[in-house]
A and B are shown apart, each in its own frame.
Chain A
Amino acid sequence: MLTAFLVFFPLAAALLLHFAKGAAARALALGAALLEFAVAVFAAITYARSGPASLDFNLNWIPSAGITFHLGIDGLSLCLVLLTTVLVPIILLTAFRHEEYENPGAFYALVLFMQTGLLGVFTALDAFVFYFFWEVALIPIYFLAGAWSRHERRIQITFKFFLYTIIGSLFMLAGFVYLYMQTGPAAGSLAAHSSDLQAFYNLKLGASTQAWLFWLIFAAFAVKMPIFPFHTWQPDTYTESPAPATMLLSGIMLKMGIYGCLRWLLPVVPLGVSQWQQLVEVLAIIGIVYGAIIAIRQDDMKKLIAYSSLSHVGLMIAGVFSLKAIGLQGAVVQMLAHGVNVVGMFLVADAIERRTGTRSLADLGGLTRRTPLLSVCFLVMLLSTVALPLTGGFVGEFLLLEGVYEFNAWAGAVAGLTIIFSAVYLLRMYQRAMLGPESAYSDTITDLSGTELLMFVPLIVLVFWLGLFPGTFLHLSEPVTSQILTVVGRY
């Protein structure tokens, strides 16, 4: 029950927002997001006290087809639920800073609507429920990215994004339908098949079937993450969307793909995974190097962060597909760390853009003198992205690299370049924007306001929490990742 409440509460709040205006709308949206976070913490406490069984929610959804509305929270889900509920209030606060948005109430409502979709994806335990939320998350982000963007090519950009993702997900749906047709009836059900996750885990399909099924399901995840060469929608969409939409896309939505791989791909078609493992590793490593090299040459701050995100995602995929316990654990920590880091980076970029009206590194420079707080926040986020020890990025990337290295030493070596590359392009960005020769804005720029600082505080806390006590989260996800590897290892 708690899980269902957790998933649908933001949606209810979004509907209520229709009746609120101005400051009331803000208060309602933020209040709902904070309350949602409290509910997530409560769920975490429940989980710690009485285990995942107490958070299971199972309702007959389409009885004639054996489809149940099955939600549940285990350690892995909990990590992502917490990430989502922490980030959404920050994203809303970012949206509040943008006074220029037309019809802001609708914007906040869509953010909350999106939260329902995301939480649904992270808690679904039935294939069709998972697909349902997967698509539900797409609708609000499409409008957030398109309708509030001021870029002249916004229609083409968001259209491309929409088509890419929906075509990917239709492939996944086809894969799920095929799997569903292979299952037997669930216990106590009248229907001939079942689409429960467990029923999928119990299937033992042949290697050749799994080989093509792998691509059907992976298509959706590959586009969402995105992995090279399915990434072409990503840089433009990240760059030209309004800042809160970019944060949703990069901070949380991207994790849908990796989470999907962990829960709905690896254990469902393990033979397919082992067949294509090397190819995916190669693609992931190409993505790492490719994203990094392009990032080095960027002038637009948002675009630079977008390509940097592409590069870091590559490493997460490489870690997941190493099929090593440590790689999977690393992916979980890095999902959290990357979510925090990338939102922090976009927050910085947005803060600078709102003050100066530009994101171009060529126009910026020498901003530190008047903005000590911003500089510090920027630096913390940056160093965590670069994976400096003591920060969350370090733990995640270190574990990931360890996993990739165990898979293949050479792959590990090349993947290790991410850290070096990201140091190069991120420090370059910091130097161009904050240090260096004074620019037109060096004297006029204002420092972070109290509210803005408040937005950075949870991010910075999380960066160090993840860096100093990663055990909190590793401990949560450990049973799940080892269970995944057991299912994979059964063949």
Chain B
Amino acid sequence: MLPLVLLSVFGIVNLFLGFLRSNRALMPFVLVVLALVFGLNLLDWNHAGSISGLFDSPYISQMLTVDNYSVAFSGIVLLTALLLLPFSNSYVAAGEPNLAEYYSLLLFSLVGAIMMVSYNHLIMLFVGIEILSISMYCLAGSDKRNVRSNEAALKYFLQGAFATGILLFGMALLYGATGTFQLSDLATAVAAPANQTLQPMLYVGVLMMVIGIGFKVSAAPFHFWTPDVYEGTPTFFTAFMSTVVKTAGFAAFLKLLVVALPAASTVWLPTIAAMCVLTLLLGNIGAAVQTSAKRMLAYSSVSHAGYLLLGLVAGQGKLSGPAAQGIFFYSLAYSVATVAAFGVLKLVADQRQREDYAGLAGLGRTNPLLAFVLTVAMLSLGGIPLTGGFFGKFFIFMAVAPINIWLVVFAVVMSMVGIYYYLRPVIAMYLRPAEPGVPQTPIVVDGFQSITLVVLAALTLILGILPGFLSGLL
């Protein structure tokens, strides 16, 4: 519980720090806050259900639970934010006037994300999603003078608001059918319905909730906003969007399905399976035909939603075991690799003004470190051994294999397509000659960013070489 409170308080403090008009002080401050919160979050490990004494009132404790599940996923979310932060340096350097607001919105959105992974009550889920989403709407449009950024914010907001409506409607129907928002009560009510005539209402409610959350995690066929929004949003926030929102969204999704709705699996299981197939197909095919690296990553994030949906299929009634484990490991590996990829891409895009593959040309010569980190990230996203991405896929496939082998076969075929497009940036960096017009001067990377990039690559490799120490966690 303390992380939530601290994030909110420091978010507000940070806003006041903005009055100092000193951008240089902001990032260290946010960094310290995030590190502190990350550490405090880990302290809750293995203290299932216990909530720090101060706030131990039924209004909080029955609405949010702190257990290993929430600690694990909050950990991913906070770690991602922490590792992403150094790449906001260009804002500091450019004297961005609204930096304090951006950072505060980031902290607030983390509050939303943590609520999404620790909710015990549907209202908390809703509030969490909204806190996260509204922050992201603002941040998508943060590049105010750029038309594309404005377009992204508007698209994201309009479609997001629509999806929120559907989600809320679904919750209302669920409430109507069962009379409760509490997850455990919901589970009993769904398993033994008091009134059979309300069953259709329940099922429609479940479907609408699946659609609503499906939109947030950009699962097909509700992914149409993703490429445009990701492309238009400033890269720093795209990275945040594609990692934190996705991780929190899937943690919430899994919790909803396996804790509250296991008895309704006849409705959601086929739906999720169908969405999974569609997402994998559209995400991978979409990514394969892109020429812009950023847009490719947008589609690739859709395809990763597909693999995570696959993990949901294996969710069998509890928040531990292979499915939760798979989703946890996958989210972590995916977040780390995605932050690395977007980090490198942001540096290249800022200094070469190019976001396509050709803009990466010659990076292997001019900036071996950037090229190496991006290569590791791409291999990880593609699921090649030695990287965390391989074990992410491996654990999810292993969890699903006993349940539905054909879904796994399909996912494996799709990951072959994935290798095709993840290799393209690598080819561009190492093998292709530079096009005229792409400057071949080394990209300036400050020391802090270099260290972060090394940490990101090292984390990806450690996850890929020693998966054991995280694999039995949940």
In residues 100-148 of chain A, which contact B (Cβ within 8 Å)? Answer: 102-103, 106, 128, 131-132, 135-136, 138-139, 143, 146-147
B402 touches which one: A132, A174, A181 (CB < 8 A)? Answer: A181
Stretch touching chain A among B146-154, B207-215, B228-236, B426-434: B426-434
A170 touches which one: B415, B420, B467 (CB < 8 A)? Answer: B415
B386 touches A177 (CB 8 A): no
Dominant secondary structure at the A interface: helix
B386 touches which one: A63, A132, A155, A167 (CB < 8 A)? Answer: A132
Candidate in B384, B391, B408, B409 with the most chain A CB atoms within 10 angstroms: B384
Candidate in B391, B408, B468 with the most chain A CB atoms within 10 angstroms: B468
* B250: Cβ under 8 A from any A Cβ: no
In whole Å, how far is A88's beta carbon from the nearest beta carbon of chain B? 19
B401 touches A177 (CB 8 A): yes
In whole Å, how far is A253's beta carbon from the nearest beta carbon of chain B? 16
In whole Å, how far is B362's beta carbon from the nearest beta carbon of chain A? 11
A155 touches B398 (CB 8 A): no
A135 touches B384 (CB 8 A): yes
* B379: Cβ under 8 A from any A Cβ: yes
B384 touches A146 (CB 8 A): no
Which chain A residue shows the least CB distance to B385? Answer: A135
* A263: Cβ under 8 A from any B Cβ: no
Stretch touching chain B among A40-48, A158-166, A272-280, A366-374: A158-166
In residues 38-78 of chain A, which contact B (Cβ within 8 Å)? Answer: 60-65
* B423: Cβ under 8 A from any A Cβ: yes
The verdict on A146 contacting B431 (CB below 8 Å), with A63-B472, A65-B471 known, is yes
In whole Å, how far is A229's beta carbon from the nearest beta carbon of chain B? 19
A106→B398 CA distance, assembly (Å): 36
* B364: Cβ under 8 A from any A Cβ: yes
* A428: Cβ under 8 A from any B Cβ: no
* B38: Cβ under 8 A from any A Cβ: no
B386 touches A136 (CB 8 A): yes
The verdict on A132 contacting B385 (CB below 8 Å), with A139-B379, A170-B412 known, is yes
The verdict on A146 contacting B430 (CB below 8 Å), with A132-B386, A135-B384, A135-B385 known, is yes
A64 touches B384 (CB 8 A): no
A159 touches B472 (CB 8 A): no
A65→B473 CA distance, assembly (Å): 12
A62→B470 CA distance, assembly (Å): 9
* A154: Cβ under 8 A from any B Cβ: yes
What are 22 A-B contacts defined by CB distance under 8 Å? A61-B466, A61-B468, A63-B472, A64-B472, A65-B398, A128-B394, A135-B384, A135-B385, A139-B379, A139-B386, A146-B427, A146-B430, A146-B431, A147-B364, A147-B430, A147-B431, A155-B427, A155-B432, A167-B416, A170-B412, A173-B412, A177-B408
What is the interface of chain A, defined by CB distance below 8 A to chain B?
60-65, 102-103, 106, 128, 131-132, 135-136, 138-139, 143, 146-147, 154-155, 158-159, 162-163, 166-167, 170, 173-174, 177-178, 181
What is the interface of chain B, defined by CB distance below 8 A to chain A?
325, 364-365, 368, 379, 384-386, 390-391, 394-395, 397-398, 401-402, 405, 408-409, 412, 415-416, 419-420, 423, 427, 430-432, 466-468, 471-472
